[in-house]
Amino acid sequence: MTAPTVSEEELPVEPEPAAGWAPTRALGRAVLVTGLLLIAGVLLGRVDLVVLAAPFALGTAYALRRRPTAAPQLWLTGDEAQLVEGGELAGTVTVGNPDTIGYDVAVVRARVSPWLHVTRASFAGAVTDLSRAGGADRPFVTTVPTRAAVDLELGGVARRWGRHPVGPAGTRVAAADGLLLSPVVATEPVRVRVYPRTEPFKAVEAMPRAAGLVGAHHSRRPGEGGELAGVRVFGPGDRLRRIDWRVSLRARQLHVASTLSDRDAEVVVLLDVLAETGRSGGVDGAASVLDTTVRAAAAIGEHYLHRGDRVAMLEYGPAARRLRPATGRRQYLTLLEWLLDVRAESSPHEPYDQVFGPQLLSADALVVVLTPLLDERSAQMLARLARGGRFVVAVDTLPADLPPPGRQGWAEVAFRLWRLDRDTMIGQLREHGVPVVRWAGAGSLDQVLRDVARLATAPRIGGR
């Protein structure tokens, strides 16, 4: 008798197995050989053929006497830790045997997202190197004792941010010396959350306008801060520790040191998801527009939340998702969860009113727009925000080494013309007062933030 495989077909032959279990070809061959030998022995009157059929009949009857009555069980668990791009992945597929009969062969197979690069598998104590063996999408075989469970542990590297499926997984087992095959038991996939990896991002403290009551940015309003604004005459409510004794003795009147208040600011990160281009190569490969957008948004949000500012997120697209402004570590974790669901979607409709219609941006907020500037509606949106008096900074997320779509015919010339037209659009945005800077990690926004803050504090001509 031979052991069955999952891909082999089954023959509905007698005797009838336990409910849910199907006979295999091995059982069919045993019954067929036994029947042929018995019939030939009776018709030809040969006892030796009957004696030859006896081992097949007795072996089959003895194996079927230990028939399982319960189907196998299957569980799938993913890594529940806070996994970041490039981090170690762990997943487990568990095959359980609730029966009193052991399983001779258990075949397990699980599908894993291509962005979860599985490099090793451990099954029943045997470790398999999968780095060159086609990944985790392959069958694994083991035995399962009675009333026990065997774990298939998968390990590897998470290559890209997002919610990636581990599974579905399925198993099929053989029992009764390979004569019975269980039904396929499958489990639903589980989602593994992989957060974007953020580069260390720092920016200058310059903000267009600090609007809160307390924070780390210097405002133009007097208050309890750390930046000296001047010296003035002592008045009601002034603290004694603010008295400047040198000036007071020289002027023969009490004077106090006046300071500017430290206030927090609101930063709105606007993600343009109308278009996607470039090919994503994971954490160590090339970055698409969406990769750059999500990683830059996470880095900017982490920086300003760490400084105590309020950070909000907006999507410029059909979904128009919004994350309300808040501060603290809880907002940072919520921000990361929010970014996992970012998807690029094209839409024939103008999403401006849907995004900015009912909910207006704060007049003091700094709006950082992450956009590839591939759609004219994105440029029109930036111009509207600038004309509305918002403090806008546009961050170009288009890959600098974006290759042309092809080299046949006029494709390369058309690509160059498109580049020139895009450069012209960027120049027009700058004429409208919208600074456009390419994302380059830490320090990308320093000069732009200084310019925006300088314009915000400059005196206005004609009372405008």
Nearest-angstrom CA–CA distance, 162 and 114: 12
Q: Which of 173, 185, 164 is nearest to 91 (CA)?
A: 164
Does residue 153 carry a pLDDT above 80?
A: yes
Tell me what pLDDT residue 154 has: 87
Rounded to 5 degrees, φ, ψ at 87 are -85, 170
pLDDT band at 24 (very low <50, low <70, confident <90, very high): confident
> In the prediction, which pLDDT does 160 show?
92
The CATH architecture annotation of domain 266-457 reads: 3-Layer(aba) Sandwich (3.40)
Ordered alpha helix ranges (H), 89-207: none
- How does pLDDT run across 88-145, given as a tens digit for each residue? 888 889 999 998 888 888 999 888 888 988 888 887 677 777 766 556 678 888 888 8
What is the band of 46 on the pLDDT scale with cuts at 50, 70, 90?
confident
pLDDT score for 253: 83
End-to-end CA distance of the chain: 94
Q: 452: pLDDT confidence band, cut at 50, 70 and 90?
A: low
- What's the Cα-to-Cα distance from 133 to each of 110, 127, 128, 136, 355, rounded to whole Å? 15, 13, 9, 8, 48
Residue 177, SS3 per DSSP: coil
Q: Which residues pair with 369 in a beta bridge?
A: 270, 394
Is the pLDDT at 462 greater than 60? The verdict is no
Which residues 6+ apart lie within 8 Å of 100 measured at CB?
146, 147
- The residue ranges of every structural domain in the chain are 22-66, 73-195, 222-260, 266-457
Above 50 in pLDDT, residue 5?
no
Residue 305 pLDDT > 70 = yes
Cβ neighbours of 390 (radius 10 Å) = 21
Q: Kindly state the average pLDDT of the residues 171-186.
A: 89
pTM score, whole prediction: 0.74
Per-residue pLDDT at 229:
58
Q: Which residues contact 212 (CB under 8 A, 6 or more apart)?
A: 263, 264, 265, 266, 310
Parallel, antiparallel, or unpaired for β 190-195 and 83-84?
parallel
Q: Indicate left, alpha or beta for 87 from its phi (over 0: left) and psi (-120 to 50: alpha).
A: beta
- For the ranges 24-28, 287-291, 406-410, 415-419, the lowest mean pLDDT is seen at 406-410
Residue range 409-435: average pLDDT? 84
CA angle 358, 361, 367 (to 5 degrees): 140
Q: Tens digit of pLDDT for each residue in 189-219?
A: 999 999 998 876 665 555 555 454 444 444 5
DSSP label at residue 372: -
Is residue 379 helix, strand or coil? helix
Please tell me whether the peptide bond between 15 and the residue prior to it is cis, using omega within 30 degrees of 0.
yes
What average pLDDT does the segment 282-292 reach?
88
Is-contact 300 244, C-beta < 8 A? no
- Averaged over 60-75, what is the pLDDT? 85
Q: What is the DSSP string of 63-115?
A: HHHT---S--EEEEE---S-EETTPEEEEEEEEEE-SSS-EEEEEEEEEE-TT
How many C-beta neighbours within 10 Å does residue 351 have? 21
DSSP structure class, residue 240:
G
- Per the model's pLDDT, the better-predicted residue between 463 and 135 turns out to be 135
Q: Which helix (H) or strand (E) holds 213?
A: none
- d(CA 450, CA 444) in angstroms, rounded, equals 12
Q: Is 400 helix (H, G, I), strand (E, B) or coil?
A: coil
- pLDDT of 443: 63
Contact 440/395 with Cβ under 8 angstroms?
A: no
- In percent, the amount of the chain with pLDDT more than 90 equals 14
Using CA atoms, how far apart are residues 169 and 187, in angstroms rounded to an integer? 6
pLDDT value of residue 371: 92
CA quadruple 384, 390, 395, 396: dihedral, nearest 10: 10
Cβ proximity of 208 and 142 under 8 Å? no
User: Do 161 and 85 form a contact (C-beta atoms < 8 A)?
Assistant: yes
What topology is assigned to 73-195 in CATH? Answer: Immunoglobulin-like (2.60.40)
